[in-house]
């Protein structure tokens, strides 16, 4: 009986020793992996993000019309000045949608096929309507914009030291977006003639662009984000972060630098008694984004 009890105690000690050895080995491996990642000054890899876009109109001519989407893919690069302070940048392609609708006034534009004409393209030097034979007048109700941007983040990176396999971080700085192209998807009505009081027929104008681009070539965001990094093997990490981006640049183009300030504008809100446009709207608005970003860094 005593022999049996002693044997059980020895076996229990043996099992306990193995468990302690396994825990020690796992913790050592975790520490070594984390040390390897922590000692790596440069991290680079692939990123994917998805989120929501909202706009902030700065005119009563348009209103928000729900939320748009934001999808992006590209390369992220982190450089560590120290183990807890660094710089984050990259090159990412940003596929967006944002929406607005007409506000307290009717909005119109002239177009030929898939090209929207600006003031300079529809009025002659004397301010007289000078359309081509194929020009049509469109009454705009709702618009979805689908731009493509090249995004270049310039962010300070603040992070903790590794706690096991994990470390946590925050980022703050500016995200710079450069316009590569865009399309308009409009709902509204075609006018039977170039007279804004003529009969209107419901019609969707898809894949439209302006002859002179009326979106700004640059837009910027103040960005703040936080997240976690999981170092699952060697110097390879899986990173997840939640970002809030506050736009500080108007998405629509500013006034022309020379000549008439509104010569590049496309949206008309007022006409004279002869049907000639007399007021072209600027439609200024800025943007907010909430984005979830996932990266694999090496």
Q: Is 195 helix (H, G, I), strand (E, B) or coil?
A: coil
Q: How many residues does the chain have?
A: 298
Query: CB neighbours of 12 closer than 8 A, spacing ≥ 6?
Result: none
pLDDT value at position 127? 86
Question: How far is residue 257 CA from its own chain's centroid?
Answer: 28
DSSP assignment of 93-129: EEEE-EEEEE-SS-EEEEEETTEE--HHHHB-TTS-B
| Phi/psi at 31 (5° precision) | -65, -45
Question: How far is residue 97 CA from its own chain's centroid?
Answer: 9
Beta bridge partners of 143: 100, 186
Low-confidence ranges of the chain (pLDDT < 50): 1-12, 16, 19-34
DSSP H or E run through 22: helix 2-38
pLDDT in tens, 190-213: 999 999 999 999 999 999 998 667
pLDDT in tens, 160-172: 999 999 999 999 9
pLDDT value at position 96? 97
pLDDT value at position 253? 82
Half-sphere exposure of 97 (CA within 13 A, CB side): 12
Nearest in space to 264 (alpha carbons), one of 278, 282, 286, 284: 282
Long-range contacts of 196-204 (CB under 8 A, 24+ apart): 196/106, 196/108, 196/137, 196/139, 196/271, 196/275, 197/275, 200/139, 203/138
R_g (Cα) of the chain, nearest Å = 29
The model carries a pTM of 0.85
pLDDT value at position 214? 83
CA distances to 67, 79, 94 from 227, rounded to whole Å, are 24, 17, 21
CA–CA distance, 261 with 246 (Å, rounded to integer): 28
Nearest in space to 154 (alpha carbons), one of 132, 176, 139: 176
Structure tokens belonging to residue 89: 């940048």
């Amino acid at each position: 009986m005593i022999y049996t009890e002693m044997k059980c105690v020895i076996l229990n000690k043996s099992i306990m020793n193995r468990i302690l050895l396994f825990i020690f080995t796992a913790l050592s491996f975790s520490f070594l992996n984390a040390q390897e990642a922590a000692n790596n000054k440069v991290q680079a890899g692939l990123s994917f993000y998805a989120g929501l876009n909202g706009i902030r109109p700065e005119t009563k001519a348009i209103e928000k019309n729900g939320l748009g989407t934001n999808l992006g893919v590209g390369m992220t690069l982190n450089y560590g000045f120290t183990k807890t302070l660094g710089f984050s940048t990259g090159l990412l392609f940003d596929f967006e949608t944002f929406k607005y609708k007409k506000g307290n006034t009717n909005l119109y534009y002239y177009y030929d096929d898939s090209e929207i004409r600006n003031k300079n393209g529809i009025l002659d030097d004397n301010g007289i309507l000078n359309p081509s034979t194929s020009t049509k007048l469109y009454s705009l109700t709702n618009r979805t914009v689908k731009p493509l941007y090249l995004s270049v983040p310039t962010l300070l990176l603040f992070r903790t030291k590794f706690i096991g396999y994990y470390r946590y971080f925050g980022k703050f700085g500016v995200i710079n977006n450069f316009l590569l192209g865009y399309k308009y998807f409009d709902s509204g009505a075609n006018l039977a003639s170039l007279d804004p009081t003529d009969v209107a027929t419901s019609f969707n104008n898809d894949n439209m662009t302006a002859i002179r681009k009326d979106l700004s070539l640059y837009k910027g965001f103040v960005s703040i984000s936080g997240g976690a990094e999981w170092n699952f093997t060697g110097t390879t990490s899986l990173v997840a972060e939640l970002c809030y981006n506050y736009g500080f640049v108007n998405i629509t183009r500013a006034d022309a630098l020379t000549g008439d300030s509104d010569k590049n504008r496309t949206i008309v809100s007022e006409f004279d008694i002869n049907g000639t446009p007399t007021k072209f709207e600027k439609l200024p608005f800025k943007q907010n984004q909430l984005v979830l970003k996932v990266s694999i860094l090496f």
